[in-house]
Amino acid sequence: VRSFFAGTDPCWLTPATKQPVLRAEVSVDSADPLADTVRAELDLLRQAAGAADAAPDGVREILLCTLDRLGRTPVGRDLADAVHAAVPRAGLGAEGFVVVRRGERLVIAAGAGRGLLYGWYHLLRQAAPLAATTGADHTEAHRPACAVRMVNQWDNMAVHPVMGSVERGYAGRSFFYRDGRVVADLSRVRDYARLLASVGINALSVNNVNVHATETRLLTDHLPDLARIADVLREHGITTYLSVSYAAPIELGGLDTADPREQRVARWWAEAVERVYSAIPDLGGFVVKADSENRPGPFTYGADHADGANLLARALRPHGGTVYWRCFVYDCHQDWRDRSTDRARAAYDHFVPLDGRFDDNVVLQVKYGPLDFQVREAVSPLIGALRHTRVALELQITQEYTGQQRHICYLGPLWTEILGFDTTGAGGPTIGDIASGRAGRPTGGVVAVSNVGDDANWTGHKLAQANLFAYGRLAWDPLASPDEVLAEWARATFAVDAATLAELTALMSGSLRTYEKYTAPLGVGFMVTPHTHYGPSVNGYEYSPWGTYHFADRDGVGVDRTVASGSGYTAQYPEPLASRYEDPASCPDELLLFFHHVPYSHVLRSGRTVIQHIYDTHFDGCDEVEDLVRRWSAIADRFDAATRRNVDERLAEQLRCAREWRDQVNTYFFRMSGVPDAEGRTIHR
Ligand code: BDP
């Protein structure tokens, strides 16, 4: 099994649960280069699994082919006709596929290589259920909802003290870079590409959005190494993107300016891009973080972000490239005493006035919330507001604010909520409609920050693999059920009995809400240890310039973002959403402190006071973690030793940390408010 992935623990692609596929006769017929990848995957699987049991159950023959070859394969007229009939009227595109089963024969047919690859992985994920449809006629058609399904690596080539670290990475070091260079042996990168492709990811940016001096040179000196990475990714249907520094003309080109309106700056970019494309003709383009958290950007020159983004877009255009321009632009040096500034407003205020000025190969990449990847915040109003600009939704798979892969926190339900969010509150397009293009607006798809590193199990916490898996599956189909996706992951990953799988997924499925309960209450956010963002520090960011405050005092807590008396942020939403958020009586409980500053005695729609809600959820959250520990212990011995050790150890830390959160948050609010817990539970005083 180990040889299937170089030096890593089993994951959802390991052979143990793939036996039903291996018991059939599998053939691949297509001239597309990705068909070779499918064949190589099949060989690897066979080698790693050893001789499969010869007795077939259900399917005996599996054919994977592109539609152009179907007539030439020996499947017979009837089956070929059934395959053609299964193709949806809109076609399969380059990435879709159909699965048609007639008795013992099963065909997976695609329009092109990527579809073939995705069909193959679908078969592996669904091996057991498909085998179980014995004898039945069966037809499925699949096409991804979002055209671009990207992952962003935040990997550094060289940042002290640790070379090759990963920003906000919780699973070891980078396996792309070591000692200030791209690694010589890319086998781990190849395995990662297989993992990504297996859940439908088709784009990867390979370096941190904070581009430091060394990685800037991926554009120049390290270009041959970047090309090696791109070669590996291409074999798995993944398009390479590069994060670039806005100031590259200065840092690399020796110019004294990066002013987007200067001809020599445009010329420098055109030449740099030309060189990149001669090494990587199918590069996807660039990802840019500008004027954010001390990164350089067009503001320095009195220019705006349309000028900045279009500068790069015009250099990329002749080569078919795209700029993913991030909207995480805010002032990280604000005066915390000035209540009229509100970081939540920043992205919308910067970008909405520019809507319509961006070239069509610019995609604005917008974080799901206006702050920063909190377990609960309002969904960004910017995504719905941009009508004439391509938008990509940005999610975070790495658990920066959600327990850093030491806590079990399955993020699928969060993403489903975001994707399903109605941007007007009155049957308007959802975020998923916008990301997938169903809203009829120009789109750039979905992007998410990776959670992998060189730890043997990829993600630090073995169970955090589910988040990478779920991101790919939900980007493919934003309407998929997060619980079903979780079940699919568990079934593909662990060769254990159905009852154990059901228990594992049951304990993971609510873990996000458990995490929310024992951390910052009612959407107020943060309260984390500054810089590391792990563990509680209620006032950690309260008197600092980052713009992330809770404003707790003896009378109440929360951020007033109303038009009536606060920052006016609520007016960034269309009606009726704006009014719903503006009025505490109609604002959803879970976002109350995100939008309002209220007294501790304020009664929530649940009937409880805010202070009692804080106490209750923190006690409950901890009890739920204790319960997680108990439930996991009851099934742990059915898992492999590495998984058992890993989950045991991390759960112990989660419990310790959850108690710390409970005690700090409850004590803080008890001291501030002087209101005792109605249930008389002990609060550390
Ligand atoms: C914040 C992270 C920081 C990132 C930044 C970003 O703390 O490390 O650089 O987001 O998204 O969440 O650019």
Q: How does pLDDT run across 579-632, given as a tens digit for each residue? A: 999 999 999 999 999 999 999 999 999 999 999 999 999 999 999 999 999 999
Q: Are residues 183 and 98 in the same domain?
A: no
Residue at 668 is within a domain: yes
Q: Do both 96 and 160 map to the same domain?
A: no
Which atom from ligand 1 is nearest to the alpha carbon of 154?
A: 9
3-state secondary structure 194-258: HHHHHCCCCEEECCCCCCCHHHHHHHCCCHHHHHHHHHHHHCCCCEEEEECCCCHHHHCCCCCCC
Q: What is the mean pLDDT of residues 104-114?
A: 94
Residues 132 and 161 in one domain: no
Distance CA(285)–CA(552), nearest Å, equals: 44
372, 394, 433, 477: which is the annotated catalytic residue?
Answer: 372
- The catalytic position among 359, 400, 455, 560 is 400
Q: Which residues contact 580 (CB under 8 A, 6 or more apart)?
A: 425, 586, 587, 588
**Is 31 a domain residue?**
yes
Proportion of the chain above pLDDT 70, given as a percent: 97
Look up the CATH number of the domain holding residue 178.
Answer: 3.20.20.80
For residue 56, what pLDDT band results from cuts at 50, 70 and 90? very low
Same domain for 466 and 546, yes or no, is no
Domain coverage including residue 608:
516-559+597-673
Say whether 372 is catalytic: yes
Ligand 1 pocket, 373 CB below 6 A? yes
Q: Ligand 1, atom 1: nearest CA belongs to which residue?
A: 372
Q: Is 400 in the pocket of ligand 1 (CB under 6 A)?
A: yes
The CA distance from 249 to 462, in Å, is 42
212 lines ligand 1 (CB under 6 A): no
Report the residue among 153, 159, 166, 168 best suited for mutation to probe ligand 1: largest number of ligand atoms under 8 A from its CB: 168
Please indicate whether residue 483 is annotated as part of the active site.
no
Residue pair 436/391 in contact (Cβ under 8 Å)? The answer is: no
pLDDT at 213 over 90: no
Q: What is the pLDDT of residue 389?
A: 97
Query: Is the confidence at residue 426, as pLDDT, over 90?
Result: yes
Question: Greater confidence, 340 or 189?
Answer: 189
pLDDT tens for residues 233-289?
999 999 999 999 999 999 999 999 999 999 999 999 999 999 999 999 999 999 999
Number of folded domains that form the chain? 3
Residue 171 scores a pLDDT above 90: yes
Distance (Å, rounded) from C-alpha 296 to C-alpha 300? 7
Assembly ipTM: 0.98
pLDDT of amino acid 411: 98
Residues 471, 532 share a domain = no
Residue 116 region, left (φ>0) first, then alpha (ψ -120 to 50), else beta?
alpha
Q: What is the mean pLDDT of the chain?
A: 94
Asked if residue 546 has its Cβ within 6 Å of ligand 1, the reply is no
Whether 4 has a pLDDT exceeding 90, the answer reads no
Question: Both 252 and 287 in a single domain?
Answer: yes
The rounded distance, in Å, linking the Cα atoms of 478 and 412 is 10
Q: Please indicate, yes or no, if residue 580 is contained in any of the structural domains.
A: no
Point out the domain boundary residue: 493, 525, 544.
Answer: 493
Same domain, yes or no: 458 and 343:
yes
For residue 683, being part of any structural domain is answered with no
Report the CATH number that the domain containing residue 538 is assigned in CATH: 3.90.1330.10
Is 104 catalytic? The answer is: no
Contact 592, 553 (CB under 8 A): no
Compute CA 663 distance to the chain's CA centroid, rounded to the nearest angstrom: 31
Instruction: Report angle CA 512, 204, 226 to the nearest 5 degrees.
Output: 140
pLDDT digits (tens, 9 = 90+) for 535-548: 999 999 999 999 99
* pLDDT score of 1: 39
Residues 135 and 159 in one domain: no
Looking at the structure, do residues 604 and 650 belong to the same domain, yes or no? yes
Distance 317 CA to ligand 1 centre (A): 28
Instruction: State whether the beta carbon of 295 lies less than 6 angstroms from ligand 1.
Output: no
Mean pLDDT to the nearest integer, 475-485: 98
Question: Is residue 55 predicted with pLDDT exceeding 90?
Answer: no
> 4-8, 86-90, 400-404, 467-471 — which is least confidently predicted?
4-8
Asked whether residue 444 falls in the same domain as residue 538, the answer is: no
pLDDT value for 163: 66
Mutate to test the pocket of ligand 1, among 155, 159, 293, 380 (most ligand atoms within 8 A of CB): 293
Distance 340 CA to ligand 1 centre (A): 24
DSSP notation for 47-64: HHH-SPPSS--S--EEEE
- Asked if residue 304 and residue 284 are part of one domain, the reply reads yes
**How far apart (Å, rounded) are the C-alpha atoms in residues 27 and 64?**
6
Task: Report the distance separating Cα 319 and Cα 535, nearest Å.
Answer: 46
Instruction: Single out the residue of 188, 235, 282, 200 nearest to residue 38, CA to CA.
Output: 235
